[in-house]
A and B are shown apart, each in its own frame.
Chain A
Amino acid sequence: MNILVCVKRVPLTGGKIVLTDDARAISTRHLGFTISPHEECGAEEAVRLVEQHGGSSTVLTVGPPEAEEQLRDVMAIGVDRAVHLVTDDEEWDPQATAAAIVDAIREVPEPYDLFLFGNESADAGNYQVPIRVAHALGLPCVTGVKGIAVSDGQLRCEQEVEGGRDIYELSMPAVITVKEGLNLPRYPSVPGRLRAKRKPVEDSTPPRRQPRLEMVRLHLPAGSGKQVEVLGHGPEAAPAVVGILRELGLV
């Protein structure tokens, strides 16, 4: 089976978010970059499914030239090749992103059987690009998947819901969005990293559609206004902790 996994380059935010002077982006001067946690599981699943069922895997991103770093990271765990839809520095809105992905998919000579996305990106969290891609391609879509089994061209997907799990069955080709917890992604090995350097990345520069969900500016939530009360240092603070637990009616 041929699998396409889509990822997005996002900053590793750490403990505190600082904005750029124009308040249109997170200041990344001191930050590294990664892909969204859900997407790490999507990439791992693509590699596992190809290991089990044969075929090949491709990773795609819509992002700035620097996003090649994330494509190499994903290829380092075993994805075979990459497609880079190169953008300017501005983040594209969900409709523009989906349209660029759909155009790229339509150009592929050998069609994909399965499209894996993260359920939502870590940064924008728009919850819609994969669903737009599914509609444009006329494919079925299941979101938030934490279990995938493939047999005879059929997919069985599990979704965590309140009180249990919902099960869906559908035939391929299909669009699936996954959540972290689907699997435990492997770390790239040194040989994997070396191989990833030689794997092909196909670049193109798609035209950008006019944004219809247009970001104006970002702002940080008002501080919690909390002033932390230090109960003490080391095990001697235990009685003070129990005092707090007693106030809450827990002891």
Chain B
Amino acid sequence: MVLVLVESLDDELSRQALTLAASLDDAVHAVSGVGEYAPAGWGRSLLEVIEELSPSAVLAPGTDRGNEVLAHVAAMLDLPMAANCVAISPGDPAAVTRIRWGGSLFEDATVHGSPLLLTVAPHAVAAEPVEVAQLRELEAAGGDGMVRVIEHVPASTAGVSLAEADVVVSGGRGVGSAEGFGVIEELADLLRGAVGCSRAVTSAGWRPHTDQVGQTGTKVAPEIYIACGISGATQHLAGCKGAKKLLAINPDGEASILASADYAVIGDLHEIVPAISAEIRKARGA
């Protein structure tokens, strides 16, 4: 049997992990944490279930919590763990393919040890219905190094959330200054979208890190991503490859971003973006 740590049986990323687990073994058992989150505590409880059921593999979705809880288990068992896998072939050693550089590169690796511990990269496999033999609730077990969430502070609900926006208008180094984002904000507002930016922009202090799209920023999945003055570093593309369409506005017709773009306008964003905003107003008769 294989054991899967899930957020819930309906959660999309958990269902993807269950799908990959079902390709390894017919008997899939699931566990889900309850109560306030406690990383080491959940790990210790998961370890008790592993000792009782002796699964051949333990999987979790490649989320912050999935990676964290499974790493605690791996540390306690002194076993290897492969994070963010997209494919597995069981065996001794098992062979996995996992992502590096936020998905810009794949690694084929072997994993020596049993049970096999791995997390599943988000959106690497399509979720299919999986029959789960048993779902157990996991309460945090106490012990050394026990920490737990003591308080949850809700986010302010003002504005459109970058991660969930249908439109993201994003600016890079080519915007030139903090003030230069005025035209980006105007277009984002007209499209009821969110403003994003590249890492160069947050490092320069032009925008807060909460606006950063990329491997170490927010991962977005809008209907359209409008990249203005962004060259297209792998760090940035790792954050916007979930976009359904990508429009690049760039003075350089050879910029890396064009290789990932559906549409491009070549030229100066400071002329093009206001022209697009004006054209939208005209089309709306305002």
Say whether B83 contacts A126, CB under 8 Å: yes
Q: A128-B74, A216-B109, A226-B262 are in contact. Are A167 and B80 (CB under 8 A)?
A: no
Say whether A231 contacts B209, CB under 8 Å: no
CB B247 to nearest CB in A, in angstroms, measures 7
- A149 proximal to B (CB < 8 A): no
- B64 proximal to A (CB < 8 A): yes
Say whether B283 contacts A15, CB under 8 Å: no
- B53 proximal to A (CB < 8 A): no
Annotate B114-136 by CB proximity to A: 1 below 8 A, 0 otherwise: 00000100000000000000000
- Within B76-117, the residues touching A (CB, 8 Å) are 76, 78-84, 93, 95, 99-113
CB A1 to nearest CB in B, in angstroms, measures 19
Which residues of A have CB within 8 Å of B139? none
Which residues of A have CB within 8 Å of B274? 235
Partner of A166, one of B37, B75, B216, B264: B37
Docked CA distance A16–B224 (Å): 23
Say whether B152 contacts A221, CB under 8 Å: no
Say whether A167 contacts B107, CB under 8 Å: no
Q: A15-B232, A167-B150 are in contact. Are A241 and B265 (CB under 8 A)?
A: yes
Annotate A89-125 by CB proximity to B: 1 below 8 A, 0 otherwise: 0000111001000000000000000000000101111
Say whether B155 contacts A163, CB under 8 Å: yes
Q: Which residue of A lies closest to B164 (CB)?
A: A162
Say whether A213 contacts B111, CB under 8 Å: yes
Partner of B283, one of A165, A221, A232, A242: A242
Q: A125-B99, A180-B209 are in contact. Are A13 and B233 (CB under 8 A)?
A: yes
Q: A17-B101, A169-B150, A216-B109 are in contact. Are A230 and B262 (CB under 8 A)?
A: no
CB B158 to nearest CB in A, in angstroms, measures 13
Say whether A143 contacts B68, CB under 8 Å: yes
Say whether B223 contacts A135, CB under 8 Å: no
Say whether B71 contacts A131, CB under 8 Å: yes
Say whether B100 contacts A125, CB under 8 Å: yes
- Segment at the interface with A among B14-22, B23-31, B141-149: B141-149
Q: Which residue of B lies closest to A170 (CB)?
A: B147
Q: A124-B100, A132-B75, A212-B113 are in contact. Are A237 and B234 (CB under 8 A)?
A: no
Say whether A131 contacts B68, CB under 8 Å: yes
- A181 proximal to B (CB < 8 A): yes
Closest A-B pairs by Cβ, 9 of them: A15-B256, A181-B209, A235-B275, A128-B71, A238-B275, A135-B75, A212-B80, A127-B67, A234-B267
Supply 29 A–B pairs (Cβ within 8 Å), ascending by A: A13-B101, A15-B231, A16-B259, A17-B101, A17-B234, A122-B216, A127-B68, A127-B119, A135-B72, A135-B145, A141-B147, A143-B68, A164-B155, A167-B151, A213-B81, A213-B109, A214-B111, A216-B95, A224-B260, A226-B261, A228-B264, A229-B263, A231-B247, A232-B266, A234-B272, A235-B272, A236-B275, A238-B279, A251-B283
Give B residues with C-beta under 8 Å from A: 37, 39-40, 64, 67-68, 71-72, 74-76, 78-84, 93, 95, 99-113, 119, 144-155, 166-167, 191, 199, 202-203, 205, 209-210, 212, 215-217, 223-224, 231-235, 245, 247-248, 253, 255-268, 271-272, 274-276, 278-280, 283-284
Give A residues with C-beta under 8 Å from B: 13-17, 26, 36-38, 93-95, 98, 120, 122-128, 131-132, 134-136, 138-144, 158, 161, 163-170, 179-181, 184-185, 211-221, 223-224, 226, 228-242, 244-246, 248, 250-251
